[in-house]
Structures are given as structure tokens and as C-alpha cells.
Amino acid sequence: MDKRAVIFDTDPGQDDAVAILTALASPELDVLGIVTVAGNIPLSLTTRNALRLVELAGRTDVPVYRGSDRPLRRSLVTAEHVHGETGLDGPDLPEPQTLPAKGHGVDFLIETVRSRPAGSVTLLALGPLTNVALALAKAPDIAERLAGLVLMGGGYFEGGNITPTAEFNIYVDPDAAAIVFGSGVKLTVLPLDVTHKMRSTKERIEAFRSLGNNSGKAVAAMLSFSERFDVEKYDWEGAPLHDPCVTAFMLQPEIFQGREINVEIETESVLCRGMTVADYWGVTDRPKNAFWVRSGDSDRFYALLTERIGRLP
């Protein structure tokens, strides 16, 4: 089996955790490393959580690099109100014994993409795009060398989840997002438009718990904790599961539907900071710069996640 090489850029986060664990359990993917960024919680905690995840999965061969601890131009906004003080509230995971890899995550991104054949590495971004923007600014050549960038962020039909117009990942560092969307990198976006359809109902959470392994129990505990905020917010039966859509798209893109469109990032407006201005209906002549995913099959999505998490310790 030909493996596809991927690097995660992430701010774990319960939903980031499920995305990462799914990838670590998937033989189709060669996870070259995990780079952390400040987002859901500060950098020290996102790094701690990434280390806890590779240990939970029995994959300490995957290095974890510290990345950026703040957005490019703005004060950091975090989301403990959703994810808890640790970012992984829910399961009782031990303190990690593994140490972060030496060096900065942005340098790891650049060096890894440059050292491998062009078109062989895909970057999977689950948090604010600070590290990605810094890498593209420092080494513009990697935009063409990447096989692609698949990210969770933004929203058009569903609006925003941190403001009426902005999704959290883009809102935290809209200046970084503007750099990324204007870089020319081959871009796939999994926005709220699709992630809001992927709801972790009680039955789906119980399916993880019923796997009987430590990873399945941990995932069930994570989702049981994190869903409380969104269930109350949206009055839905289950909460959206955002970031695993990125991993699922890498594994089974046929689960999802979308189209190539133009997307611009609003960086100046007080009301609309971080809005992904998605020209879904082609009403401008701005060039298409992203594949925007609008919908997906939630049953197939959860079947995939559950089967993969079941392979882990």
C-alpha cells in the first residue's frame, strides 16, 4: 500500500484529538510529525495534549514540535469554555513522558516539505493558521511543493461559531488565514457548512465506548465532555465534530461533496473579522483558490472514525 505523507498542524482540542487518533490508526497515512499552535488553549497545553495523544495511540515514533504561541498581529483568543481548562477535559489521561522534538515547528514544516519529493506531502491544519502562514512567508516555494493543504475552518451557509460571521480557527488569526488563502497552495476547506452535519449523537459516542479499548473509551469521554456546550448552544441531538472531517477527507474523500470557489478572508471589519467570504455562486470574477466542502455523509463518516479508533490500543 502506498502511504500518503501528512503533517498535522493542530491545537488539541477534543475534536483535534479524534482527527489525530484516526490518522495514527490508518495505514494509508504516514504521519511525519505533529506541529502545535496556540488556539483552543495556549501552546504549552496544545503541545502537552499532542504528546498525550501519541502516547495513547502507542505512536511515540511520531514527533511533536512546538509552533507559534500567538497570532501574527493580535492577542490570542482561546476556547476553554468549550474544551475545558486542559483542552482535553473528559478522559483521565496521564501526564506525557515523551518530550517535544527539538526545533521550531515552522522550521520542521519547511525542512520536511523541501526534503521530500515535490507533491508528496499534504499538510493537515486543524487550528489557527499561524504556523502555516509563517512557513509560507519564510519559504514561498513550499506552496508548490505541497501536495495540498486540507484545513478545517470557516463557514458560509452556517455563518460563524465564535462570532455571527466567523469560525473560531480563522477568527483567531485572520491575518495568517489571508496569507494562506492567497498563497497559491492547493487548498481544501472543511467549513462549518459540512462539520455541522457531523453530529456526535449519544449512539455514536456509545459506539466509541463500546469498542472496549483505551482509545475508544477516551474518545467517548472527550466527546461526552465537549458536546455539552454545542448541544445547549444549537439545541441539537448531538454536537458537531469538526476537525476529524480533515482526516476523513484524506481517507475517503468520496464521503464529501463540494466545489472549487474563490474564498477571501476579512481582516479589517469590526463586525466581520475572520469571515470567510466564499463566492459559492460565482458572482465575482475572482480566481478560484479553494475546494469548498459543503456536505457529507455523516453515517459513513462516523463508521470510518469508529472502525479506525477501534484499531488503537
Active centre residues (catalytic): 242
Structure letter (DSSP) for residue 112: H
Beta strands 4-10 and 29-36, pairing class:
parallel
Sign of CA dihedral 278, 246, 106, 160: positive
State the DSSP H helix or E strand holding residue 58, giving kind and residue range, or none if neither: none
Q: How far apart are CA 187 and CA 278, in angstroms?
A: 13
Dihedral angle sign, alpha carbons of residues 89, 125, 203, 82: positive
CA distances to 90, 112, 117, 148, 276 from 5, rounded to whole Å, are 31, 10, 11, 11, 28
CA–CA distances in Å: residue 276 to residues 19, 143, 308:
23, 20, 32
Query: b/e per residue, 123-154, with b = 16+ CB within 10 A?
Result: bbbbbbbbbbbbbbeebeebbebbbbbbbbbb
Q: How far is CA 7 from the centre of its chain?
A: 11
Distances (CA, A) of 234 to 96, 209, 230, 239, 286: 35, 24, 6, 8, 34
Please give the C-alpha separations between residue 25 and each of 15, 142, 296, 310, 311, in angstroms, as whole numbers.
16, 27, 22, 8, 6
Give 3-state DSSP helix, strand, coil % of the chain, rounded to 5: 40, 20, 40
**DSSP-assigned letter for residue 104:** B
How many Å apart are CA 95 and CA 36, to the nearest integer? 17
How many other CB atoms are there within 10 angstroms of residue 59's CB atom?
Answer: 18
